[in-house]
Every structure is written in structure tokens, then in C-alpha cells.
Amino acid sequence: MNRRRIDFTLLWKKLFTRLDDREQETLHQWREADPENQELLDRLERFQQGPRKISDARRDEAWQKLKGTIDATPVRPLHDRRSHIITILYRAAAVFLLAATAALLWNYYNAPAVQTAEVLLLPGHAKATLITGAGQSIHLGDSAVNLHQHGIQAEASDAGLKYFAGAAGAAAEEINTLIIPRGGEFQLTLADGTRVWLNAESTIRYPATLAGPVRWVELTGEAYFEVARNKERPFKVITAGQTISVLGTSFNVTAYPDEVQTLTTLVEGRIAVDLATGASLQVTPGYQSVFDQAAGVLSTRAVDTDIYTSWKDGVFIFEDEKLVNILSRLERWYNVKIEYANASQKEARFTAHVDKYQSATEVLKLMQATGAVAFDVNPNVIIVK
């Protein structure tokens, strides 16, 4: 191991401004000196898009320790006003990023390995259970499966379950149920060509042929829909207490039974959301309907749709989100249980862009490095301290 010291200002400029040729060469030599130096830089660059919360006390402590302990590798001198510029940067609105970076550097050079490194929590993968209308249970995800049900044809693989358009001529309608467990995800292509991405701990019921005048599915959990357009046969998504009506559009529905709000986020097209009480509203692209089940209130708000749909593309995006909501999502995806030693930690807020196919331990290490939260990790339980 050759952890040569590096001027923090160099790393700051690499992340947030620009390096001149001499500084680039100095940084290159440092990176080449040891693979762990490159790993540190990679972590800092990921951290730029990752959790961005750090307590004031830990921020100041990390900054002071960093300034007092990191010996600068010789680099080209910066402008004479260097210390003044650093002071301004430190006090600027982006101070939380600077301090978080300092915290990571301090931990890298001085702190022992964090607890999370000892337990590997693997991400979820494609898996589901199909319950046919006849009651047959079929495990999906590991190998190819061909299905034939009263003239209905479908095939399944690790890429998902796909029904064929010819199924519309089937003699008998069957209502199938597709169950995605914790630690799972799955794709479903219905007989009309509608595509559905199903998130962990979700269930969808649907007619295998979709042959009736109204196409419909029932959803519990979370799914992203790309509905095949058919003006003569509207498509309905039924969740607890509400029905979403569409002709052809793309949208995300979050309707977990343990969450108070049901969220319907429209990417393109147009939808109508109707409550069992008779309340109704129209949703346009870039907006989200919010159904507060406890209050029975339906409303809309403008949102960044990527935050609510990126999960289907392999990324969790959290913007100033409460820790309890972040960990609830990770809990389903990594199939673990979350416990809180201090309930007040639930209210802490983070901003993060997380590759959902990396180990949970990597995500937790980044969050823990901010100093705002700590974790004790066991194979099936994560304790928030």
C-alpha cells in the first residue's frame, strides 16, 4: 500500500473546477501510486451524486482534522489568494459538499473500516411467482417457461413474462396474478402489448387475454406502465381506493399498503384518477396525483418524474428525502429489515443517486461517511443509530 498524501485542493479542483496540466500530472502520479488511491477518487466522484448531508459538528471536525493532518504532495503553487479563496468556498452555499468530501478523506486516511463492510447485502434480481386462474403456481426468473392456458400463449424468462396478441381469441378468460417478492423485480408484457415494470414487493392481477371492452389490471405495490394505445378500449389500473383511466400513455404508480399516500406520476399522455368517493381529476405530463388515503384527499403537484421512475432503469433517485422513506425502499429491494435505535433519525434528509444493483453495504457506507447517520449491519437486519 502506498497511500501518498495528496493536496486536498487538487481533489477539490478535480471534482468541481479544472486542473492545469501540471496539476493533472501530479494527480495522475498519485492515482498510479496505489489502486486504493484511484478507489478513493472514484468514491469521491460517486459521492458528488450521492448522499449530501452532514452534521455541522462533524463537518467542522472533518475540515479541521483534514487541514491539520494531510501533508500536501508537491504541486504547482496556486494563486496567492489561495487561502482566501478556500475560506470563501468553505463558507459558500456548497459547503456541505466540501465538508462531505473532507469527511471521506479523513475517514480514508485515519478511520477504521466501517461496520457495513463486514456484511454483504446483495441487490435484488428478476424473480416472480405466477398464480394462474386455475390455481397453478409457477416460479419465474431462473429459466425459460412456455405457458399454454386454454389457448392462451405466453413465455417467460429472466427478461420477464410476455403474452402474445393471439391470446385474445381464447375460449375462456383467466385472471392471473403475478407476485414479485422482496428482493425482486419483473417485467410483464400484456396481450395488447402494454409493458409493465414491477418493483419489489408488488402484486398485479390481470386478465390473460385483455379481451373485454375495458382493459384492466389491479395493482398493489409499485409499477411503471407503458400502455398500448387503443381509443376503443380504455385501460384502467385499479389500486386501493382509486382507479386510473388511460388510453395510451406512460406513468408510474406507487401504491404500497403500508404507505399513506398513493402516487401516480405521469411521464407522457394523459390520465384520469377517480376515487371510490366520486372525486376525480385529470393529470398532465410532469405532474403527479397524490391520494392521501387517511384523509381521503386527492390532489396534484408538479414533480421531476425521473425521481419516481428511474428505479426501472436501475437507479434510485432521492432529492431531499427523509431517511425513513429512503430506507423503506432499500428495505424492499435488498430484502432486509430496518430498525431504528433513535426514532428521530427517520426525519434526517438526504439527496442521493444510487445504483440499485450495487451491494447495499456500498450505499450505507456512503451515507455513514457523511457523519449524519451510522448503521449496524447484520445479514437480515440493519439498525440505524
Centre a 10 Å sphere on the Cβ of residue 305 and count the other Cβ atoms it contains: 19
pLDDT at 83: 39
Residue 39: all three cell numbers together = 478507489
CATH 3.55.50.30 in the chain is located at: 319-384
For residue 277, the 8-state DSSP code is T
CATH code assigned to 319-384: 3.55.50.30
Residue 101: per-residue pLDDT: 54
Which residues, in sequence order, are CB contacts of 207 under 8 Å at separation 6+?
173, 174, 175, 176, 216
CA distances from 71 to 21, 38, 261 (A): 22, 18, 52
- Cell 396525483 locates to 289
- Of residues 7, 9, 6, the one with CA closest to residue 81: 9
Q: Name the DSSP letter for residue 113.
A: P
Residue 250's DSSP bridge partners are 226, 268
Cβ proximity of 280 and 244 under 8 Å: no
What pLDDT is recorded for position 134?
A: 86
Q: Which residues contact 72 (CB under 8 A, 6 or more apart)?
A: 5, 6, 7, 8
125-308 CATH pick, 3.40.50.150, 3.40.366.10, 2.60.120.1440, 3.30.1330.50:
2.60.120.1440
Q: b/e string for 110-121 if b means 16 or more Cβ within 10 A?
A: eeeebbbeebeb
Hey, is 365 helix, strand or coil? helix
Grid coordinates given for 366: 456512503
* CA-angle at 230, arms to 227 and 236, nearest 5°: 55
Q: Where in the chain is the domain with CATH 2.60.120.1440?
A: 125-308
Cell of 99: 465538508
pLDDT block averages, 10 residues each, the chain of length 385: 54 70 83 77 63 47 45 35 36 41 52 51 93 92 82 86 70 85 96 96 94 93 96 94 92 96 96 93 96 94 96 92 94 95 90 88 82 87 92
Q: Could you give the C-alpha distances from 256 to 36, 203, 239, in angstroms and in order? A: 41, 10, 9
Give DSSP secondary structure letters for 27-95: HHHHHHH-HHHHHHHHHHHHHHTS-----HHHHHHHHHHHHHHPPPPP-----TTHHHHHHHHHHSTTH
Q: Residue written as cell 379481451? A: 211
- Between CA 251 and CA 267 the distance in angstroms is 5
Cα torsion 134, 137, 140, 146: sign: negative
Residues β-bridged to residue 353:
317
Is the separation of the CB atoms in 108 and 8 below 8 Å?
no
In order of 172, 194, 260, 332, the CA distances from 210 in angstroms are 11, 10, 30, 30
